Amino acid sequence: MMFRTAQLILRETNRVLGRTTTSPAFFSRFSTAASSSQKLAGKVAVITGGASGIGKATAAENGAKVIIADVQDDLGRSVAAELGPDAAYTRCDVADEAQVAAAVDLAVERHGHLDVLFNNAGVSGTIRRQDDLASMDLAGFDRVMAVNARAALVGIKHAARVMAPRRRGCVLCTASGAGVLSVPSIPVPPRYIAIVRATAEPLARHGVRVNAISPGAVRTPLMRRVSAEMFLGKSEEELKQIMESDFVIAPEHVAAAAV
């Protein structure tokens, strides 16, 4: 996703830094999560990566009883405290299957069942040129695959474990627009889509829906770090303008899609 996104953001940056900008009216056609703030009232959800960015926006606006699963302890506890008694934080490294299973079990223990699992946690890995594969860091690749791709399958597995007996439930995976693009240097997003496609049909027989959300550039802390790496040498003001450009959408727009 990110290399292709970088090209698009760079064009946008050129406009932001002296030419024209995309009209904010473009995004006014899309509802925000706020309009769906109680749509999931009474439901039970586990959101991985729920302490910041897209996960936090989704947790804050959906009205469900939420288990925020993350490795950012202070942020996670703070978000849970803000949301009130219907929210709880649990430390969960999604690369560890036992911790994902424990987050699912916590939801069932506290609320009796699980309606939604949002596989949203992710890391960016090292951003490099598409023609720079000879120097690819495979240890970094393995980490990205463990956190982004394998963890999606682990989440689906353990959600199905508790959802299928009830014949109801929804699993969402934050994927990427790069899932439909050829981006050899960032090979994970197509794996998300493949995992979703491979699991959606068999789990549908058990009443469980599996879907992916594939955004482009989103205004999150992760995207800010990636932008700083992609646009090395840009000033803080230039990076700020990139992140605030109309091309980079708000986490709430993705949260609305999740809800």
- Given a cut of 80, is residue 217 above it in pLDDT? no
Confidence band, pLDDT 50/70/90 cuts, at residue 167:
very high
Confidence band, pLDDT 50/70/90 cuts, at residue 25:
very low
Per the annotation, the verdict on 192 as an active-site residue is yes
Q: 92 or 248: whose pLDDT is higher? A: 92
Q: What pLDDT shows up at residue 232?
A: 56
Above pLDDT 90, what percent of the chain? 42
Mean pLDDT of 1-9: 44
Q: 8 or 167: whose pLDDT is higher? A: 167
Q: What pLDDT shows up at residue 126?
A: 60
Q: 240 or 95: whose pLDDT is higher? A: 95
Mean pLDDT of 149-170: 96
Structural domains present in the chain: 2-10+32-258 (3.40.50.720)
Q: What pLDDT shows up at residue 1?
A: 41
Residues 106 and 88 sit within 8 Å (Cβ to Cβ):
yes
Q: What is the pLDDT of residues 223-236, one digit of tens each?
A: 666 655 565 556 76
Q: Taking Cα atoms as reference points, which of 62, 41, 59 lies closest to residue 50? A: 59
Q: Which of 89, 118, 192, 247 is catalytic?
A: 192
Q: 201 or 252: whose pLDDT is higher? A: 201
Q: What pLDDT shows up at residue 223?
A: 62
Report the distance separating Cα 194 and Cα 66, nearest Å: 27
Q: 236 or 19: whose pLDDT is higher? A: 236
Burial class (CB in 10 A: 0-12, 13-18, 19+), 222: middle
Confidence band, pLDDT 50/70/90 cuts, at residue 132:
low
Query: Rg (Cα) of the chain, in Å, rounded?
Result: 18
Maximum mean pLDDT: which of 88-97, 171-180, 231-240: 88-97
Confidence band, pLDDT 50/70/90 cuts, at residue 254:
confident
Above pLDDT 70, what percent of the chain? 64
Q: Taking Cα atoms as reference points, which of 222, 213, 137, 143 lies closest to residue 172? A: 213
Mean pLDDT of 203-211: 97
> 34: which strand partners?
none
Provide CB contacts within 8 A for 192, sequence distance 6+. 148, 149, 152, 173, 174, 175, 176, 179, 212
Q: What pLDDT shows up at residue 214?
A: 80
- Given a cut of 50, is residue 67 above it in pLDDT? yes
